[in-house]
Amino acid sequence: MILNVGQALASTTDSTAIVVIRAPSTDVDLTCGGAVMLDPKDSSAETRPAVAEHSHGTLLGKRYEDPDGILEVLCTKGGTSSLALGGSPLSVKTAKALPASD
């Protein structure tokens, strides 16, 4: 799927919802709980159980990114399933340290 900045996506495995903050220009496989994330307005989406290894949860208000830094999303609704890009789990983005003032 091609992602766009500002695009909202929802999980089919739990209540997780996200907004894309930074997106690659290439086709990517963004999943939650092992299932592809979809448009939250898509009423044809079937609910399915999460894959066990993708059940670490998402936290409301946290930003998640891939190890290469090409994708960044903001979690707008937390859930029990975890996010992954191409099978690799996304991690919570840490705040950058401010320079020390003397």
The long-range contacts involving 64-68, CB below 8 angstroms and separated by at least 24 positions, are 64/18, 64/90, 64/91, 64/92, 64/93, 65/22, 65/90, 65/91, 65/93, 66/90, 67/91
User: pTM for this one?
Assistant: 0.87
Q: What pLDDT sits at residue 102?
A: 62
Query: What residue ranges of the chain have pLDDT lower than 50?
Result: none
